[in-house]
């Protein structure tokens, strides 16, 4: 008689075996009710195990099944185990990701959503006090004051907001109510979508589709076909290839999973899927982050039953329980939003590749700027490479001009040098011709490097070839990889200019400047603040589409997948910023960003122009982007990565300790470092414990060290073993981030 090995819900990771009562069809992945101490609890069956005869006591029988069918399919359970061991996290945390809260809680029929309502406008004194003492509460209040109807769903405030809300409620500043919601996620202001039909493909698209179809039609008995990397320049019609591949998959009676970096930032992609499959609207499920619990529950079950046959969602949708999965599409596969920055810290694209292998289905990773990880996989023959080198509408890629802001700075004599004369003239011309412009402000990275405004010199680590980070508190420069330290130079080491200093300005400032030089222009701004209001982004993009706006100013948010035929000018104000952060992917990110942003120009009948303002005009990221030369960039960047032992030639993980108590956080990491170096697996490179670039956030001090190894598993295992053997002080949290994408 097999017994059921059950993982009990809850943070304590309890796993117990239970006997299976006669007549109960219990399988791995089933949700069950079990007796625990004196009450009934819920859990998930991880495995069926042989009951041992010599236990000396009888196992307690489990009580009942919560759902007659296993909620986690065998393949997803396998993926879950892989994630737990690869990323070094608990299987419980992975099950949480696999089964959304809405699906795990038993009473999911509730059609209510917990909503936070502003009860009393906070006085400036209270706000100031909160900003110091409880910044999270202050942030919630400021969100509420700007929200429509002064209310926001609790779920939209993100993980861990409950405590802050509770405390705000105690101060009678907010109220938590349960709001009735409609269960139709579409009912909420989605505009009418006109159906469209497939476009005749051009030769390149045809060839790309053929590769996908070959994989789709491969007999299921054969070995799984390799993942396909679709490298298509901006505007080359990748989406059309996705759409036709999706259609072919449905025709085979199979289902389709579409992953996008973020639903709200890729409205046009979502809209095109809806439009193409409009006749079978109910077959498309879009997993927004703002679904209520009830909606999420409904969608999840619609997917599991095979009613929804196309699922579009961000990272976590990789766990959507689609039956008969035939095709996974990962759009903008290079995007770092695919990496989850909370436990379990999985990478959505990598899990998608794993899932495709387990389900023996086709997977396409698409991008105009593929990650070097994926690209290297094509060079090693693990992935197939398919290319779309031309724009679908026959237009050429936009002309990119690089403007040396060091000269501009001299001309403008000590000013902030936000807008060059060249860019200003170009904007004026567009206004005269009634064409539109996008101005892009790079805001990545708060941890600033030191750059000379006169000659563009950046202070670099002599050992690691990454920029040194400036620590204001103690006026030091520090390398976050090896620990090298230097004093802040009084003069630029290159040109002797004493003005070497931090630069930084925001979208608001840009808006001011533009309004001054182009008083007649209609200007709008998209940034994190503007995004907060529901539908604000969509409304703004619609207004831009309708040409009610001349100049759109924005940050990273406008870099992705937008298609506006009347945009003929894109200005990139400060191409450098992201270049000088202490992150070996900095160059890659800047290249991606410049290419993607430039790709927003000239997507209609009119030719596009891109002006890139930079203090380092000769940096490879800028130059290769300017020449639309992905291969050139990849070759040089891969050489650098290989030489210094960075991904894709090694796995890179970060171990972080944090505490409100600075010394204890530091001491803990030093202890861990000592133990890690005691008998490391061969090939493991262990960095020095260092303050994080963001040393103090949310009142916590953070220290980190970087680990690298060509082999992933031995590294994760070694760290887990050391962590298990080490008793951490109560007020210190230690986080292990495998395949880290953020080093701040
Ligand atoms: N075969 C085709 N014939 C005519 N027009 C096409 C064809 N394929 C795509 N297009 C059009 O070309 C434009 C750009 O295509 P699409 O947005 O799919 O490109 P993309 O590669 O996804 O771009 P990006 O990476 O920049 O988001 C769209 O307006 C699309 O309708
Ligand atoms: Zn200088
Ligand atoms: Zn260094």
Atom 27 in ligand 1: residue holding the nearest Cα: 561
Q: Which residue has the higher pLDDT, 110 or 333?
A: 333
Tell me the mean pLDDT in the region 699-703: 82
CATH class of 2-104: alpha beta
Residue bearing tokens 């069926």: 48
Contacts of 154 (CB under 8 A, 6+ apart): 113, 114, 115, 116, 161, 162, 165, 176
Tell me the mean pLDDT in the region 7-13: 80
Longest dimension (CA), the chain: 89
Q: Is the pLDDT of residue 442 over 90?
A: no
Name the burial class of residue 329, with classes exposed (0-12), middle (13-18) and buried (19+) by CB atoms within 10 angstroms of its CB.
buried
Q: How many CB atoms lie within 10 A of CB 222?
A: 8
The finding on whether 261 has its CB within 6 A of some atom of ligand 1 is: no
Check whether 361 is labelled as a binding-site residue.
Answer: no
Residue 482 backbone dihedrals phi, psi, to 5 degrees = -110, -15
Residue pair 245/212 in contact by the 8 Å Cβ criterion = yes
Q: What is the pLDDT of residues 370-419, one digit of tens each?
A: 999 999 999 999 999 999 999 998 888 888 999 988 887 666 655 556 78
Q: Is the pLDDT of residue 148 over 80?
A: no
CATH fold of 188-388: Rossmann fold (3.40.50)
The reported pLDDT for the residue numbered 446 is: 41
Q: Is the pLDDT of residue 283 over 90?
A: no
Atom 30 in ligand 1: residue holding the nearest Cα: 237
Check whether 455 is labelled as a binding-site residue.
Answer: yes
Q: What is the pLDDT of residues 470-484, one digit of tens each?
A: 765 566 788 777 778
Measure the CA angle with vertex 712, ends 707 and 718; round to 5°: 65
Q: Rounded to the nearest whole angstrom, what is the distance from the C-alpha of residue 562 to the centroid of ligand 1?
A: 11
Ligand closest to the CA atom of residue 200 = 1
Of the given ranges (106-120, 391-405, 693-707), which has the lowest mean pLDDT? Answer: 106-120
Residue 126: pLDDT band (50, 70, 90) is: confident
Atom 15 in ligand 1: residue holding the nearest Cα: 237
**Residue 490 vs residues 406, 452, 487, 498: alpha-carbon distances, Å:** 19, 11, 9, 6
Q: How far apart are CA 409 and CA 259, in angstroms?
A: 43
Tell me the mean pLDDT in the region 505-509: 66
In terms of phi and psi (left: phi > 0; alpha: psi -120 to 50; beta: otherwise), the region of 262 is beta
Q: What is the DSSP letter of 88?
A: T
Q: Rounded to the nearest whole angstrom, what is the distance from the C-alpha of residue 402 to the centroid of ligand 2?
A: 19
Measuring CA to CA, which residue among 285, 348, 283 is closest to residue 312?
285
Distance of CA 132 to the CA centre of its chain: 29
Kindly state the tokens that stand for 17. 């075996």
Of the given ranges (110-124, 343-357, 378-392), which has the lowest mean pLDDT? Answer: 110-124
The finding on whether 368 has its CB within 6 A of some atom of ligand 1 is: yes
Residue bearing tokens 């609890």: 41
Atom 29 in ligand 1: residue holding the nearest Cα: 563
Check whether 89 is labelled as a binding-site residue.
Answer: no
Q: Rounded to the nearest whole angstrom, what is the distance from the C-alpha of residue 123 to the centroid of ligand 2?
A: 47
The reported pLDDT for the residue numbered 611 is: 93
The reported pLDDT for the residue numbered 172 is: 86
Q: Is the pLDDT of residue 189 over 50?
A: no
Tell me the mean pLDDT in the region 105-123: 73
Residue 697: pLDDT band (50, 70, 90) is: low
Of the given ranges (387-401, 434-448, 568-582), which has the lowest mean pLDDT? Answer: 434-448
Q: Is the pLDDT of residue 62 over 70?
A: yes
Q: Is the pLDDT of residue 43 over 60?
A: yes
Distance of CA 358 to the CA centre of its chain: 24
Q: Is the pLDDT of residue 526 over 70?
A: yes
Query: Which CATH architecture group holds 399-446+505-629?
Result: 3-Layer(aba) Sandwich (3.40)
Q: How far apart are CA 454 and CA 496, in angstroms?
A: 9
SS3 150: helix
Q: How far apart are CA 456 and CA 616, in angstroms?
A: 6
Q: Rounded to the nearest whole angstrom, what is the distance from the C-alpha of residue 743 to the centroid of ligand 3?
A: 14
Q: Which residue has the higher pLDDT, 596 or 532?
A: 596
Residue 529: pLDDT band (50, 70, 90) is: low
Q: Is the pLDDT of residue 509 over 90?
A: no
The reported pLDDT for the residue numbered 484 is: 83
CATH entry, 651-738, from 3.30.450.40, 3.30.230.10, 3.50.50.60, 3.30.70.600: 3.30.70.600
The reported pLDDT for the residue numbered 3 is: 92
Q: What is the pLDDT of residues 257-280, one digit of tens each?
A: 999 998 877 778 888 898 888 765
Contacts of 227 (CB under 8 A, 6+ apart): 353, 356, 363, 364, 365, 377, 382, 383, 384
Residue bearing tokens 């009951």: 51
The finding on whether 416 has its CB within 6 A of some atom of ligand 1 is: no
Q: Is the pLDDT of residue 621 over 80?
A: yes
Contacts of 183 (CB under 8 A, 6+ apart): 111, 294, 295, 298
Half-sphere exposure of 148 (CA within 13 A, CB side): 7
The secondary structure of the chain in percent helix, strand, coil, rounded to multiples of 5, reads: 35, 20, 40
Q: Locate the domains of the chain by residue range.
A: 2-104, 112-180, 188-388, 399-446+505-629, 651-738
Check whether 459 is labelled as a binding-site residue.
Answer: no
Kindly state the tokens that stand for 586. 């900095």
Residue 141 backbone dihedrals phi, psi, to 5 degrees = -60, -40
The reported pLDDT for the residue numbered 44 is: 92
Q: What percent of the chain has pLDDT over 70?
A: 88
The reported pLDDT for the residue numbered 187 is: 46
Residue 506: pLDDT band (50, 70, 90) is: low
The reported pLDDT for the residue numbered 445 is: 41
The finding on whether 202 has its CB within 6 A of some atom of ligand 1 is: yes
Q: Is the pLDDT of residue 114 over 90?
A: no
Q: How far apart are CA 371 and CA 369, in angstroms?
A: 7
Q: What is the pLDDT of residues 87-111, one digit of tens each?
A: 999 888 899 889 887 887 755 557 5
**Residue 237 vs residues 204, 269, 371, 380: alpha-carbon distances, Å:** 10, 12, 19, 26
Q: What is the pLDDT of residues 215-262, one digit of tens each?
A: 999 877 777 789 999 999 988 999 999 999 999 999 999 999 999 998
Residue 178 backbone dihedrals phi, psi, to 5 degrees = -105, 120
SS3 letters across 611-641: EEEECCCCCHHHHHHHCCCHHHHHHHHHHHH
Residue 706: pLDDT band (50, 70, 90) is: very high
What ipTM did this prediction achieve?
A: 0.94
The reported pLDDT for the residue numbered 158 is: 67
The whole-model pTM stands at 0.82
Atom 23 in ligand 1: residue holding the nearest Cα: 235
pLDDT mean across residues, the chain: 85
The number of helices, as runs of H, and strands, as runs of E, in the chain is 22, 29
Q: Rounded to the nearest whole angstrom, what is the distance from the C-alpha of residue 407 to the centroid of ligand 2?
A: 12
Of the given ranges (214-228, 604-618, 685-699), which has the lowest mean pLDDT? Answer: 685-699
Assess whether the region 188-388 and the region 399-446+505-629 belong to the same CATH fold.
yes
Ligand 1: nearest atom to the Cα of 562: 27
């Amino acid at each position: 008689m097999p017994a059921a090995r059950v993982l009990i819900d809850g943070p304590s990771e309890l796993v117990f075996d239970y006997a299976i009562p006669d007549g109960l069809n219990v399988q791995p992945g089933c949700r069950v009710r079990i007796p625990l101490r004196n009450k009934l609890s819920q859990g998930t069956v991880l495995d069926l195990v042989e009951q041992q005869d010599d236990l000396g006591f009888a196992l307690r029988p489990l009580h009942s099944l919560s759902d007659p069918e296993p909620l986690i399919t065998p393949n997803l359970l396998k993926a879950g185990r892989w994630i737990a061991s690869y990323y070094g996290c608990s299987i419980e945390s992975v099950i949480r990701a696999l089964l959304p809260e809405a699906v795990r809680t038993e009473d999911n029929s509730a059609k209510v959503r917990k909503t936070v309502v502003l009860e009393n406008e906070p006085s400036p004194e209270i706000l100031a006090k909160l900003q110091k003492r409880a910044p999270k509460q202050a942030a919630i209040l400021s969100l509420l004051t700007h929200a429509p109807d002064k209310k926001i769903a609790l779920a939209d405030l993100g993980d861990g907001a409950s405590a802050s809300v509770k405390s705000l409620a105690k101060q009678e500043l907010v109220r938590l109510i349960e709001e009735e919601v409609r269960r139709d996620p579409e009912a909420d202001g989605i505009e009418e979508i006109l159906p469209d039909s497939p476009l005749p493909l051009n030769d390149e698209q045809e060839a790309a589709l053929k590769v996908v179809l070959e994989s789709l039609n491969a007999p299921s008995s054969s070995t799984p076909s390799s993942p396909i990397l679709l490298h298509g320049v901006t505007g080359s019609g990748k989406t059309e290839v996705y759409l036709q591949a999706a259609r072919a998959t449905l025709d085979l009676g199979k289902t389709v999973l579409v992953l996008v970096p973020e639903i709200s930032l890729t409205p046009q992609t979502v809209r095109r899927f809806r439009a193409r499959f409009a006749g079978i609207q109910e077959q498309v499920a879009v997993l927004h982050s703002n679904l209520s619990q009830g909606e999420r529950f409904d969608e999840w079950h619609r997917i599991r039953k095979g009613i929804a046959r196309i699922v579009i969602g961000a990272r976590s949708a990789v766990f959507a329980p689609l039956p008969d999965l035939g095709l996974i599409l990962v759009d903008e596969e290079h995007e770092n939003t695919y990496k989850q920055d909370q436990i379990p810290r999985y990478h959505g694209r990598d899990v998608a590749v794993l899932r495709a292998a387990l389900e023996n289905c086709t997977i396409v990773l698409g991008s105009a700027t593929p990650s070097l990880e994926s690209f290297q996989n094509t060079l090693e023959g693990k992935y197939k490479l398919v290319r779309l080198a031309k724009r679908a509408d026959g237009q050429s890629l936009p002309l990119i001009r690089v403007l040396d802001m060091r000269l501009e700075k001299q001309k403008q004599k000590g000013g902030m040098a936000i807008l060059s004369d060249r860019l200003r003239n170009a904007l004026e011309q567009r206004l005269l011709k009634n064409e539109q412009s996008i101005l892009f402000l790079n805001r990545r990275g708060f941890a600033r490097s030191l750059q000379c405004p006169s000659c563009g010199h950046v202070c670099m680590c002599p050992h690691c070839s990454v920029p040194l980070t400036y620590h204001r508190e103690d006026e030091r420069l520090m390398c976050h990889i090896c620990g090298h330290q230097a004093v802040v130079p009084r003069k630029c080491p290159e040109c002797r200019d004493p003005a070497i200093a931090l630069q930084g300005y925001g979208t608001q400032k840009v808006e001011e400047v533009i309004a001054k030089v182009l008083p007649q222009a209609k200007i709008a701004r998209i940034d994190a603040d503007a995004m907060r209001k529901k539908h604000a982004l969509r409304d703004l993009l619609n207004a831009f589409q309708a040409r009610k706006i001349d100049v759109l100013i924005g940050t990273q948010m406008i870099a992705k997948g937008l298609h506006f035929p009347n945009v003929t000018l894109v200005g990139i104000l400060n191409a450098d910023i992201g270049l000088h952060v202490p992150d070996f992917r900095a160059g890659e990110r800047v290249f991606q960003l410049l290419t993607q942003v430039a790709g927003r120009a000239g997507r209609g009948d009119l030719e596009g122009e891109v002006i890139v303002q930079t203090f380092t005009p000769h940096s490879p990221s800028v130059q290769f982007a300017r020449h639309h030369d992905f291969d050139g960039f990849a070759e040089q960047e891969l050489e650098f990565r290989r030489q210094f032992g960075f991904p894709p030639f090694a796995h890179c993980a970060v171990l972080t300790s944090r505490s409100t108590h600075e010394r204890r956080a530091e001491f803990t990491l030093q202890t861990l470092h000592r133990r890690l170096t005691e008998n490391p697996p061969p090939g493991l490179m262990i960095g020095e414990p260092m303050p994080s670039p963001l040393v103090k956030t949310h009142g916590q001090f953070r220290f980190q060290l970087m680990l690298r190894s060509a082999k992933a598993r031995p590294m994760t295992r070694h760290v887990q073993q050391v962590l298990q053997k080490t008793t951490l002080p109560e007020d210190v949290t230690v986080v292990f981030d495998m395949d880290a994408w953020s080093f701040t």
